[in-house]
Amino acid sequence: MGVSRRHLSRVFAPTGVTPARHILGQRLARAHEQLGDPGSCQLTVAEIAHRWGFAGQAHFTRVYRGRYGRTPGAARPR
């Protein structure tokens, strides 16, 4: 990207969020959108987790629950 790690850290410092946390938040937000999309109901939670860069469903579920207060399966439209 042409940006040093140090410069990126300085850019994010005022927000109080590290670049890694910001990226994780963006990935979670996109996965959350996809879980709520009725057009994605044919995809499993594991497939959505993998699509957004999570290595495993267990890790995705743990992080998702920490962010949204419920499991990814509970976020699916009925």
Enumerate residues 6+ apart whose C-beta is below 8 A from 71.
61, 64, 65
pLDDT at 77 over 90: no
pLDDT at 69 over 90: yes
Segments in 1-78 forming alpha helices (H)? 5-12, 19-36, 45-51, 57-68
pLDDT at 47 over 90: yes
**Mean pLDDT in the chain?**
93
- What integer pLDDT is reported at residue 26 of this predicted model? 97
Extract the tokens encoding 3.
Answer: 């940006």
Number of domains in the chain: 1
The pTM assigned to this predicted structure is 0.86
Enumerate residues 6+ apart whose C-beta is below 8 A from 12.
18, 19, 22
Please name the residue that has the structure tokens 């499991």: 71
What residue numbers bound the domain in which 60 lies? 21-75
Question: Does any domain span residue 63?
Answer: yes
Question: Does any domain span residue 32?
Answer: yes
